[in-house]
Structure 1
Amino acid sequence: MTVTPSAPSAGPAETTTAAATSLRSGSLGTTDIAFFVVSAAAPLTVMAGVAPLAILMGGIGAPVGYLLAGLTLAVFAVGFTTMSRHVRSAGAFYAYITRGLGRRVGIGAALLALIGYNGMEIGVYGLLGTATRDTVHSLFGANIPWLPVSLVGLLVIGYGGYRSIDFGAKVLGVLLVAETGILVLLAGGVLIKGGAHGLSLAAFSPGNVFVPGMVAVLAFAFAAFTGFESTVIYRREARDPSRTVPRATYLAIGFLGLFYAFIVWIAIQAFGDAQVIAAAGADPAGLFFSAITTFVGPWAADLMRVLIVTSVLASLLAFHNAINRYGLALAEEGILPKAVARIHPRHRSPYVAGLAQTVLGAIVVVAFAAAGADPYMQLLLWVNTPGMLALMLLQLLAALAVPFYFRRIIHGEGALRTVVAPVAAAVLLTGAIWLVVSHLDQFTGASTAVNTLLAAIVPAVLAIGLVLAWWLRRARPAVYANFAAEPPAEADA
């Protein structure tokens, strides 16, 4: 794969062709990349929308589930970030998997990544429509249809991806500060007033952690971190990527794990250890709004509703940017059409890949609407679920790839980073995938037949990718031979 060295920023009148333009290298620091990753996780939406279910199923020990999920992914990050210092390809997951497990599996992983990231984003347009509809109804009493909102959201996100990466980083920085800020405001109110019945650490006692419902909590918790590994996708646009990418990865995992656990604990304190499960069961969707109304004020609940919409927008923009860069890398590999590799001469963004992703999203959203599907229960949950499983499987394959990769090269890395941590991560991630698959009905609310179909999509896509690799080896041997090749050293400059 050939990567054109970065050129100075082009002006509007510059006649340089898009194909000869590179991404804007050196644009993103550690915090910028972490903003993309944490924004994709949508902390406010995860807390207000999912955490009440975790409390309902796992009891007051739910905060520990998020800590355990974060710890597992931190173990994964040890091998993952160690390998990032040696693999400079823009292909992220599939490049790592190719180097460790071979081109066939790598090409299968590339297809899996496309499906996974697209699934994680496109389904969320259903959530955007319903969240906006519910917010407008709550604030103004008006009823608006979800489909126009989702389509406008597609255009807004498409424009955000069309602009430069530093523009996206600034937008996400503002939105992320706002959504985490409202949760910090809730936490401040609860702590100052001492909770409903005084502050308690009973949530962290073994008797409340080692309960049967913790299995379901762990499944929800692992899902809440989906997309954290996308730090490496921004390698070509990062400043000093060998340092920036690992730092951003650990920063994102550490922040999400601690913040999730802290906010879930705050929600428990807002109602009391003995009362919170009943409150979550009576109105899970309203748990956080009720808490912030009590401890901060009704105005804060209204603001939280608005910020949930912006939280969803931030998640969409973050995933959109990640998908665009995967599309760009695969077009440069020769897997996708060459036109997808075009980069805007002024904004230095993969704008054709972004346009293709926006069109695909519109097709899926309109198809679900035409079928009369529910935007939340079907568009969101049915499209997100295989996307989530695909990304978890990619994490597992990447963990397995690390020790195989380091066996093939001369390096100065220790066994803890190259063998022990990745093998431990692979074991833990296998357990995490089993937890999610075995509790799929709690994610989708669908029948066994639908859940079986949704889960089957992931191995089916991987199998199609393996067939594609077989075909490329015979029909396009040059593309196969150069797949996930190491770029020139100046690409990281």
Structure 2
Amino acid sequence: MSVSTAELPEEEAPSDAPGLRSGTLGTADIAFFVVSAAAPLTVMAGVAPLALLLGGVGAPVGYLLAGLTLAVFAVGFTTMSRHVTSGGAFYAYITRGLGRPAGIGAALLALVGYNGMEIGVYGLLATTTRDTAHALFGADVPWLPVSLAGLVLIGYGGYRSIDFGAKLLGVLLVAETGILVLLAGGVLVRGGAHGLSLSSLAPAHVFVPGTAAVLAFAFAAFTGFESTVIYRREARDPARTVPRATYAAVGFLGLFYAFTVWIAVQAFGDDRVVQAAGKDPAGLFFTAITTYVGGWAADLMHVFIVTSVIASLLAFHNAINRYALALAEEGVLPRRLGRVHPRHRSPYLAGVAQTATGAVVVLAFRAADADPYQQLLLWVNTPGMIGLLLLQLLAALAVFRYFRRVRHSEGRVRTVLAPALAAVLLATAIVLVVSHIDLFTGAPRAVNVVLVVAAPAVFVLGLPLAWWLRRHRPGVYATFGTEPTEQPFSR
């Protein structure tokens, strides 16, 4: 027999239980979480050289196009945020627009997708730390202790209050973007390799076969930007703060990525940047900053790449904890995970569970003697990335259907045109990513098939779970995706 939250014993759902710290986060704070999750320095130094190698000097435009696509998505997404205020973010939107079975599938996909995006990055933390230690001190650092130390550090950051995390991410984000701004200043002051050029914008350089691959990398570089709505309950004036933070994050990332890749083109010259990227992709940005600023700046870049990865891990960890909190409050996950720390007002038990999950995965890959980058990062991160792109597509469809079903005063551009166009563009993005999956993973075909199928399989598994909840826990099913103060709807 199922029971509602109100029917639970007092020790399971006390009326005076602490909640998340409301009214804490401003626009800049939420934007810090989102931009930090994207890890701009890591994306630029680690991935942009491959985009240049594949797309040539027109690669910067790929990042602009990806940013524009996600800005279109944000129009409908943020409009719906004024109507759906649940902490469940993606799955709450999808439930309202596409029904509870799809919403429950989306909830599973969000939980698995965000965990994949974070846990795999512990492999990246290990490799960047190892590379930094070797570059600065000539030391060889084993990867497992670094990953485990990262798990403890990130777990502590998530345990602390959300404003602590926002302040820490603000400092780390300034550091990682600052080093790229320093590189840009050096290149601009010295006029690049052969004078500054806007040839990256020329159609002849943009409309080339490699642009499709660049777009795949570019969409992946924005992963996690939609997590602004997860912090709604902790935001100051969420009806304004959340949309502003979303647009600020998308706008900043799109322009910053495109500008930084363009700076790399200027640093080596239109005629030599592709050759330089092919010769030493991992060292492209380090060579550039050494040439235009100095070796000391390259040393700083090594350090800030490590802190960039730490910032990304903390941002994803906080997002995962709030998803788990929302699902625990829904009754889908154990209600213990919905407990909030009385002093820090953080979902600390959800954080402990997430850290333990990460430790199990990391230790399993180490026991299998797997490579921390080629396997832990890429094999765990890739399904997470595809899962979040799929969630964005489902959310765009949900926005479109939701506003067809309810009375509202929103304009047709926000409720019809933007979500429909976003759905088409996001479907295209998913096709691009899947068709170039070998560039992301470098894995055999059989492995790539598993990595691609994993995300949709998780979503499909949510459908029998929805059926089970409807039959065995009808109270949980009936209230899934609704606000605490409203009546359940009939889907």
Q: Same fold (TM over 0.5)?
A: yes
Partners of 1:17 and 1:33 in 2: CA distance: 29
1:334 aligns to 2:359 (yes or no): no
1:321 to 303, 306, 318: 318
Structure 1 pair 488/240, CA: closer, same or farther in 2 (3 Å)?
A: farther
1:376 aligns to 2:373 (yes or no): yes
Instruction: Give the letter for the 1:95 counterpart.
Output: A
How big is the shift at 1:459? 1.4
* 1:470 alignment partner in structure 2: 467
1:32 aligns to 2:55 (yes or no): no
Question: 1:20 is paired with a residue of what secondary structure?
Answer: coil
1:59 aligns to 2:76 (yes or no): no
Partners of 1:93 and 1:390 in 2: CA distance: 12
Q: Which runs of 4+ in 1 moved over 6 A?
A: 16-19
1:445 aligns to 2:442 (yes or no): yes
* 2:77 alignment partner in structure 1: 80
How big is the shift at 1:386? 0.2
How big is the shift at 1:487? 3.0
Structure 1 pair 129/19, CA: closer, same or farther in 2 (3 Å)?
A: farther
1:269 aligns to 2:286 (yes or no): no
How big is the shift at 1:246? 0.3
* 1:12 alignment partner in structure 2: none
How big is the shift at 1:309? 0.1
Counting aligned pairs with the same residue, the percent is 78
* 1:256 alignment partner in structure 2: 253
Question: 1:196 is paired with a residue of what secondary structure?
Answer: coil
Deviates more, 1:401-410 or 1:114-123: 401-410
Q: Would the aligned equivalents of 1:186 and 1:292 in 2 still touch at CA under 8 Å?
A: yes
| Normalised TM-score (structure 1) | 0.96
Instruction: Give the letter for the 1:424 counterpart.
Output: L
Instruction: Give the letter for the 2:481 counterpart.
Output: A
Partners of 2:456 and 2:422 in 1: CA distance: 21
Instruction: Give the letter for the 2:164 counterpart.
Output: F
Deviations 1:159-212 (A, max 9, x none): 000000000000000000000000000000000000011100000000000000
Deviations 1:81-119 (A, max 9, x none): 000011010000000000000000000000000010000
Structure 1 pair 57/294, CA: closer, same or farther in 2 (3 Å)?
A: same
* 1:7 alignment partner in structure 2: none
* 1:198 alignment partner in structure 2: 195
| Normalised TM-score (structure 2) | 0.96
* 2:47 alignment partner in structure 1: 50
* 2:412 alignment partner in structure 1: 415
1:94 aligns to 2:98 (yes or no): no
Partners of 1:196 and 1:413 in 2: CA distance: 50
Instruction: Give the letter for the 1:387 counterpart.
Output: G
How big is the shift at 1:19? 7.6
2:185 to 166, 179, 188: 188
1:457 aligns to 2:454 (yes or no): yes
Instruction: Give the letter for the 2:458 counterpart.
Output: V
Q: Would the aligned equivalents of 1:18 and 1:342 in 2 still touch at CA under 8 Å?
A: no
1:232 aligns to 2:234 (yes or no): no
* 1:388 alignment partner in structure 2: 385
* Aligned length in residues: 477
Structure 1 pair 19/457, CA: closer, same or farther in 2 (3 Å)?
A: farther
1:118 aligns to 2:115 (yes or no): yes
1:149 aligns to 2:149 (yes or no): no
* Structure 2 stretches lacking a partner, 5+ long: 7-12, 487-491
> How well do the aligned residues superpose, as a CA RMSD in angstroms?
1.3
1:215 to 212, 216, 234: 212
How big is the shift at 1:403? 1.7
